[in-house]
Chain A
Amino acid sequence: MVAESRSRRAHLLLAASLSVALLAACSGDDDSSSPTTEPPTSETSSTTESSTSTTTTQPPGTDQSAVEPFVADLLEQRDTLAAQLRQDPSSVAEEDGPFADYAQLFTPDSPQLADFRESMQGVADAGQADRPGPSGVLEATHLDSMLPSEDADVAFFQVCAFTDYETYDVASGDSVAAEAIKVISGGEAHRVNGVWLLHDFLDPDPNLVETLPSGTADPCELEE
């Protein structure tokens, strides 16, 4: 019973951390808080009719190879921030905390950010937090491949995500649960105002969620 509860919670946690999104309201027009989604390599720049205004448009979703580095960069940033939030879940309530940065990786209408925030808040309310398991990998989302898209503003992709974590009681430091989970899933990015943002992840298919002993090396990486 306890094990089942832990497992379900772990699945929810990873699902939530995988299936996030909610662009911080009113962040879109604020240059000072613009997302840290600088394109990793190339961009296509075009100058508008006004000589003083330049817009940057990232490649279309129909060009899988061109979009791939942008999505990979978003996932890498997401991993970093998700790991940060899981280790300090109470920070989701901070207006200018890492959750704000996290949310800016996602589209304004991304459907699952609220779930993630709620999940983190629940962990915080329980006086708990996560820390990396023996493998040291708290969040690792591997971009397997981009998938074909016929929409210039939509990109699909496949990921293999892995977490090796220990949930502990913050006050006592006692371990509450420890396990590793591998999830294979799909995701979707949208190009908003010419910039790629994560939009959503598939609800994890139970067939594609594998619970592993804590300390397991990242199987996604080993398979590559």
Chain B
Amino acid sequence: MPLRAWFARSEPQAGAPGLRALVVSPEQWRQVTLDLVAAGARLVAIWASMDELASPMICAAFLAEQGGIVLALPIVDPDVPYRGIEDLFPGAARMQRAMADLSGIHSTDPDVRPWLRHAAWPRSYRPLIDQTPAEPSAAPAIDDYEFVRVEGDGVHEIAVGPVHAGTIEPGHFRLSVVGEKVLRLEERLGYVHKGIEKRFMQLPILEAHRLAAQVSGDSAVAFSWAYCQALEGIAGDEIPSRGAWLRALYLELERVANHLGDLGALGNDAGFAFGLAQFSRLKEQMLRASLEALGERYLMNAVVPGGTRADLAPSDARSLGASVRRLARQVQILRAIYDEHEGLRDRFIGAGIVAPELAARLGLTGLAGRASAQAFDLRCDLPCAPYTQLSVAKMVRSEGDVAARVTIRFDELTESCRLIQHILGSLPEGPHRAPVRVPVDRTVGIGLVEGWRGPVLVALEAGPDGTIRRCHPHDPSWQNWPVLEHAIIGNIVPDFPLINKSFNLSYSGHDL
């Protein structure tokens, strides 16, 4: 059956625009996922939704040409594994293992190693299902994880982390190398798993946007916006258009700050300390401009249900605009220097290549995806207000190397500066915030926002009396971490930090 027919059967999904919902049987589940992969659809996220009373459900969100579709597969017998989709969408493998760790619901994937669960809780405990007081209190412990061993003459392993040699989040990398050449990288994540999904279930639905902002601090606006989008979708409340425009302003400022930080760090990792000094100075100036105009350096509390926490005074808008204009000029100067610098070109070009075919097969997404010809950007392809009126230029390269990921950052940085000026000049009048009603029990909303790293999803299911039954935040790092393992193959060990940085994936957003 063509994908069109599945879409025709689907219902509208509350939350982000252009989303449809479809409940499927196990047979249909296999067929529709086959049809999705045949049509070149992208997997956004797969998660389990269940509680003690309701029947378990597998949910999976995809983006196809027709728009987004969220499948729901009710599970009749939780002891019988459901049909995994990791053979069709390789990025699903770790998400399915995480579902087993947190909800005790298993797929048919033969890789049954735990993913997010280390030694903190036993296999029998299902954090998202079982209620206290069954919560185990584990003594400090570490477990043995079965890494894939590479055998052969001269092969040795380099084990790095979880505590890394810089100001970086914790995770473990196991590199199998011959001399300097990397044969294989295997990641082990889950060190910063701090029970975010369980915590959501304990918070009032009208206040949990604060936790959403802390899923991955560098994407605070993207996550809190996606959360609010889901909430407003199920509450049935429109937000004032000024609120939506201000959210877009915040999201672009977040993109600018992160791209500035990355461009400096990438220069530094290639031995160009000048780049770090220059870009970190520019970033600091932007953060201070943010503090001045919006009250926060990082916009951890800016997006709230119904709109934004604060309004923007005309004088603050003018000063912010002037800061961004100065920034854009400086970025052009530095871009010319980066482009012409022999040392940087030597390190960037051809390092950590992800070819477009591989990127498509593995589901590389967001910024890194666009550097490997995966031409998808929610702001262009499935825009919510105000992006429907902003005509964002989509930045795409096809080389798939560190240089391409640097170029995309420069291009998007320049485009975001333009968008910020446009937004500041066109802010609609009116209130910036409207009240949001408490949504009805068992309604589900999906928020979907193009964060600086890629599409951020929040699936929110309301409980009774303003509680949360289930909330699943999804960071694009889930898709891109496994691709990093491929990007490094055949490169030399000293290029690993550079290649890793060119993706700059979130640990916290992934480990939850």
* Chains A and B are bound partners: no
Binding site for A on B (CB under 8 A): none
Binding site for B on A (CB under 8 A): none
